[in-house]
Amino acid sequence: MSLKLYLHPFASFCQKAIIAFYENGTPFEPHLVDFGNEASRAEFLQLWPVGKIPVLRDEARDRTLPESSIIIEYLDQQYPGRVRLLPEEPELALRTRLSDRFYDHYVQEPMQKIVTDNLRPEGRGDPHGVELAREALRTAYAIIEREMATKPWAMGDVFTLADCAAAPALFYANKVVPFGEVYRNTAAYLARLMERPSFARVVEEARPYLHLFPVKNA
Write out the chain in H/E/C secondary structure.
CCEEEEECCCCHHHHHHHHHHHHHCCCCEEEECCCCCHHHHHHHHHHCCCCCCCEEEECCCCEEEECHHHHHHHHHHHCCCCCCCCCCCHHHHHHHHHHHHHHHHHHHHHHHHHHHHHCCCCCCCCHHHHHHHHHHHHHHHHHHHHHCCCCCECCECCCCHHHHHHHHHHHHHHHHCCCCCCCHHHHHHHHHHHHCHHHHHHHHHHHHHHHHCCCCCC
pLDDT at 170 > cutoff 60: yes
Domain regions of the chain by residue span? 3-78, 90-196
pLDDT on residue 217: 45
pLDDT at residue 123, as a whole number: 78
Q: What is the mean pLDDT of residues 56-69?
A: 97
Model confidence at 164: pLDDT above 90:
yes
- The yes-or-no verdict on residue 41 having pLDDT over 70 is yes
Going by pLDDT thresholds of 50, 70 and 90, the confidence category of residue 1 is low
- Select 3-78's CATH number: 3.40.50.1100, 2.40.50.100, 3.40.640.10, 3.40.30.10: 3.40.30.10
Question: What is the average per-residue pLDDT within 130-141?
Answer: 97
pLDDT at 63 over 50: yes
Q: What is the pLDDT of residues 199-216, one digit of tens each?
A: 999 999 999 999 888 875
**What is the rounded average pLDDT of the residues 48-75?**
97
Q: Which CATH architecture has domain 90-196?
A: Up-down Bundle (1.20)
Residue 26, pLDDT > 90, answer yes
